[in-house]
Amino acid sequence: MKFRVKVRQVPKLATTQFMEDASDYLLSVIPDTFDQQGRVTKWPARKSPNIAGIIGDLNSGGSVKARRFTPRPALIDTGVLRMSFFRERLEKNRVLIVSPYARAALHDQGGKTEIRFTSMFRSSLYRAMKKDKRLRKLGWLFGVSKKQQGMTFTVPARPLLELTEEDLRIIVAMVDLG
């Protein structure tokens, strides 16, 4: 996932120091996006139960995490995505902010993804359904996993770096102060 931020309006003022300051500011607002569940465009809520998460848990042979059944903020399970952004390249009038997290672009722009069933999935689902009554409603996954190799999910767009009018004022003020 790469965000290109290019200064066009003030190329003579776009010093390397300014670009460093501006990119530091941009990096500082990304965690706010997660806290506010979208700064400009509010993010769609996470679905509960989180079927994709449940399949992931069962694919690894583990038990289903309780958080899969709780309405929770989107994209905050572990904090890995939230803390993964950094400045990759800094030029006089361009900065590149990136995340090495493979699914960052999918979460930012939305799209379809497929989660394949592993060989452990069905036995894990069987054991989990015996232990946890909430999972009994998901017995239909046995049939799906018999007929298909995986399930396709539509991931809604949750923009990770959107600038507000206030952000733009702050960045312009950096030029004026510089």
Q: Is 5 left (phi over 0), alpha (psi -120 to 50) or beta?
A: beta
H runs (alpha helix) in 37-120? 51-59, 104-109
Tens digits of residue pLDDT in 119-169: 999 999 999 999 998 898 999 999 999 999 999 999 999 999 988 899 988
Its pTM stands at 0.80
Going by C-beta distance under 8 Å and a sequence separation of 6 or more, which residues neighbour residue 118? Answer: 59, 60, 61
Q: What is the mean pLDDT of residues 14-34?
A: 87
Angle at CA of residue 40, ends 36 and 45, nearest 5°? 50
Three-state DSSP at 87 gives strand
Torsion angle defined by CA atoms of residues 138, 144, 150 and 153, in that order, rounded to the nearest 10 degrees: -60
Q: Quote the CA–CA distance of 27 and 98 in Å, as a whole number.
A: 10
Tens digits of residue pLDDT in 42-77: 999 999 999 999 999 999 998 999 999 988 899 988
| pLDDT, averaged across the chain | 87
